[in-house]
Amino acid sequence: MSEPADAPVILSDEPGSFPWSVLAERHPALVRKVRDAFPYGPEQHRALDALLKNATEGVIEPLGERAADREQWERWGGEEYAGRSWFDVPFLWSESYFYRQLLEAVGYFTPGPWKGIDPFRPFKLAELSAPEADEELAALDPLAERPVEEREEALLHGSLWGNRADLGFRLAAADGESDIVAELVANDGESLRSLFAGGTLCLVADNSGRELIPDLLLIDHLLHHRRVGRALLHVKPYPYYVSDATTADVVDALRHLTGAKGAAAESGHRLWAAMTDGRLTVRAHPFSCAPLPYADMPDDLRREFAEADVTLMKGDLNYRRLVGDRRYPATTPFAAPTAYFPGPVAALRTLKSDVIVGLDARTEAALDAAEGGRWRTSGAHALIQVRA
């Protein structure tokens, strides 16, 4: 592994810790939820039951002999970690491998009737069709009357906060500060906007639905106002981490936009045209589902990021992969663990896991005093960090 070794890798072996709760509580609940969301047959039910027991009580087992990506996962760490408890290997790895095994259990990759059926699709569609989603899009109409720079800032914050995007579209009056800006623990937004200079943007997406739509709206704004000339949207090649965006989710989001009214529909149609003429391109690289930090990215992906004027990493998982899922001191400069990245890179992230860098000591002390360690995982805070 090529990530820096000056901070311990996060494991899940401490009962009561956030990583432990994901493996011991969140994953079993998700297995049950997926099981109830589809009329799976006895074979899938047996496999889900086996996964539930194995992931909480057993040890890591290799993928089946017929799995096309078995050797890939062995190279990614499966050979090293086989036979060990899920709780005793890197949290990033065990969490990622759980989702790969969940897809195996429901027959996502296996020839048969359930091949290619996204086990998380009902949850994604329910969120996209929620009344709140329409309210968020309606907020675009008054926003369209504001100055271009103000719109850009609002859309950037909409992308940052994801399904709290409706807050992102409501900038404060000129003499005040919006709540969402106050909730930022680090804000390099001005530095990020300075990198939008007519070149190529790589946006590495996080979640689908109401979190993907603000990403697309930001891309539309940047393309429409020639702040970037071309955009590459990186999504997952298969369902991952429940709500992570795939190409199918991009299409669903675009259809949702084009079926809306007003400014939302205008953006949707522009985005549709941008995809058809190549100004907006979707990528689904296999490494997007790797259980490894971006420090270990393959050469072809490294070249693509190197050619971009800025790569925008969205969300918590991408942040963990960008800086490394390690227990860094929070005051570690953001530039240190991202020094390997082949071009300018920015992170837009709400805080939902333990890892964080780039804070000043005063901010960290104030957060600890007010909330203990909860601020790291509650999702109530966010950051914009840039390494140009």
C-alpha 248: how far from chain center: 16
What secondary structure letter does DSSP report for 347?
E
Which pLDDT does position 136 carry in this prediction? 86
The pTM (predicted TM-score) of the whole model is 0.94
Q: Is residue 3 over pLDDT 60?
A: no
Position of tokens 């589902």? Answer: 289
Rounded average pLDDT over 240-259:
96
Q: How far apart are CA 291 and CA 25, in angstroms?
A: 20
Mean of per-residue pLDDT scores for the chain: 92
Rounded average pLDDT over 8-29:
95
- Portion of the chain with pLDDT greater than 90, in percent: 87
Which pLDDT does position 180 carry in this prediction? 52
Which pLDDT does position 179 carry in this prediction? 52
Rounded average pLDDT over 252-279:
97
Q: Is residue 34 over pLDDT 50?
A: yes
Rounded average pLDDT over 372-388:
93
Q: Is residue 165 over pLDDT 50?
A: no
Which pLDDT does position 163 carry in this prediction? 57
Coarse DSSP helix, strand, coil percentages of the chain, rounded to the nearest 5 percent: 50, 10, 40
The DSSP line for 17-82 is SHHHHIIIIIHHHHHHHHHHHS---HHHHHHHHHHHHHHHHSB--PPPTT-TTHHHHIIIIIHHHT
For the purposes of burial, counting CB atoms within 10 Å of the CB of 116, is it exposed (0-12), middle (13-18) or buried (19 or more)? Answer: exposed
Q: How far apart are CA 55 and CA 50, in angstroms?
A: 8
Which pLDDT does position 164 carry in this prediction? 59
Q: Is residue 176 over pLDDT 80?
A: no
Rounded average pLDDT over 164-175:
42
